[in-house]
């Protein structure tokens, strides 16, 4: 893989990743851009202890532009975008409307009082463009291109984890208007958090309880249990296992684990990296076949990586889920889920796994 690093007109970093080692990505950004100003704050809820990022400057971000004004398409025919090159394989750049930014500290006032904990939103947010094709999706990629995306995720995980103050790196994709996507061009994002997010904190506590009770790693035991009774297993590869979790929260939800526990993407072996693209593309295409005639399936694909402080106990895995429960029907987070974080699932995990196995080809 070839990596090319350059700058956009406002100083933000842009990186190209290419399987073609001869690719040249040297087109300059000719737009008259002013430097980005991020006003992010991280506030700690005094009741729950959760961190909440307040980023009011994001209200002005680009929202559902027409295809000929997409900022993630290459710069062609006199139209300038976030990608100066006329073509690309995979491109990663700092978000122009970031929730977290390294210079946020300069804009945050002091702590307002002993009850209210306020800190600058000093992290980093990046956009990952999976392809130059505006009308494609991740599922349309070749295995070679999906491998380039995996290599880009890995490169950024290593680089962002090394930044001062970063506690966890989170790579994810939101797909579909039903999810709330504001740019339909196939892309994902990466957040470098200066704190450990609430879900990871809960998982870390659960892993510690399991270690105390049984003397073993929680994630090793979960993968072994799913393989021992594969009623919820969707795909079992040589190096990866995809299964519907026992207590799935979403109608169709699949967790994808490497069979060998590693803390994050940087720990994967070459054999594990080689198998991932075909298996992941298979999963995404199964999701698109779940609801015949309903259009592309909206989903969230989320990489859970170990935070800096708990690399020995937490395991890398990807969680893929859709909010669609049937053709023409969405699962909305109503009072019990939104108000109490107590999920109710209308589809049994075993039934979801059976359906996902059935739509394989």
d(CA 290, CA 252): 9
User: Which among 57, 187, 310, 317 is annotated as catalytic?
Assistant: 187
The most distant pair of C-alpha atoms in the chain lies apart, rounded to whole Å, by: 64
Residue 80 half-sphere exposure, CB side, CA atoms within 13 Å? Answer: 9
206's enclosing H/E stretch is helix 198-214
- The contacts of residue 213 (CB under 8 Å, 6+ apart) are none
Looking at the DSSP assignment, which residues form a beta bridge with residue 329?
326
> What is the β-pairing status of strands 168-175 and 41-44?
unpaired
Is 187 designated active site? Answer: yes
Looking at the DSSP assignment, which residues form a beta bridge with residue 318?
256, 303
d(CA 312, CA 217): 9
Residue 72 half-sphere exposure, CB side, CA atoms within 13 Å? Answer: 32
353's enclosing H/E stretch is helix 349-358
Q: For residues 331, 139, 174 and 283, what is the CA-based torsion angle, rounded to 10 degrees?
A: 50
43's enclosing H/E stretch is strand 41-44
Report the candidate in 236, 244, 247, 327 with the shortest Cα–Cα distance to residue 288: 327
Question: Distance from first CA to last CA of the chain, Å, rounded?
Answer: 30
Q: Which residues are catalytic?
A: 187
């Amino acid at each position: 893989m070839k990596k090319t690093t350059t700058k956009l007109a406002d100083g933000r970093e842009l990186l190209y990743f290419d399987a073609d080692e001869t690719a040249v990505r040297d087109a300059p950004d000719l737009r008259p851009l002013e430097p980005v100003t991020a006003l992010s704050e991280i506030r700690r809820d005094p009741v729950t202890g959760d961190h909440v990022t307040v980023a009011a400057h994001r209200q002005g971000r680009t929202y559902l532009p027409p295809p000929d004004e997409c900022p993630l398409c290459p710069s062609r025919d006199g139209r300038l975008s976030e990608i100066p090159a006329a073509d690309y394989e995979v491109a990663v750049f700092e978000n122009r409307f970031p929730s977290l930014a390294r210079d946020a500290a300069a804009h945050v006032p002091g702590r307002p009082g002993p009850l209210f904990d306020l800190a600058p939103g000093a992290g980093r947010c990046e956009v990952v463009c999976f392809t130059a094709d505006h009308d494609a999706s991740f599922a349309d990629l070749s295995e070679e291109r999906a491998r380039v995306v995996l290599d880009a995720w890995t490169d950024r995980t290593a680089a962002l984890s090394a930044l001062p103050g970063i506690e966890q790196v989170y790579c994810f994709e939101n797909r579909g208007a039903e999810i709330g996507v504001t740019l339909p061009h196939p892309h994902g994002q990466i957040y470098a958090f200066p704190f450990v997010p609430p879900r990871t904190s809960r998982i870390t506590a659960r892993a510690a309880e399991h270690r105390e009770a049984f003397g073993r790693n929680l994630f090793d035991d979960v993968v072994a249990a799913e393989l021992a009774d594969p009623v919820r297993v969707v795909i079992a590869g040589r190096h990866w296992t995809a299964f519907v979790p026992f207590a799935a929260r979403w109608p169709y939800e699949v967790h994808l684990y490497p069979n060998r526990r590693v803390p994050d993407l940087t720990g994967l072996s070459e054999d594990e990296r080689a198998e991932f693209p075909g298996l992941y593309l298979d999963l995404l295409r199964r999701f698109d076949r779940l609801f015949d005639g309903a259009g592309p399936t909206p989903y969230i694909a989320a990489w859970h990586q170990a935070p800096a402080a708990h690399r020995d106990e937490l395991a890398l895995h990807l969680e893929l889920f859709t909010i669609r429960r049937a053709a023409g029907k969405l699962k909305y987070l109503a009072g019990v889920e939104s108000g109490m974080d107590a999920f109710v699932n209308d589809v049994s995990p075993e039934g979801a796994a059976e359906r996902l196995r059935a739509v394989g080809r």
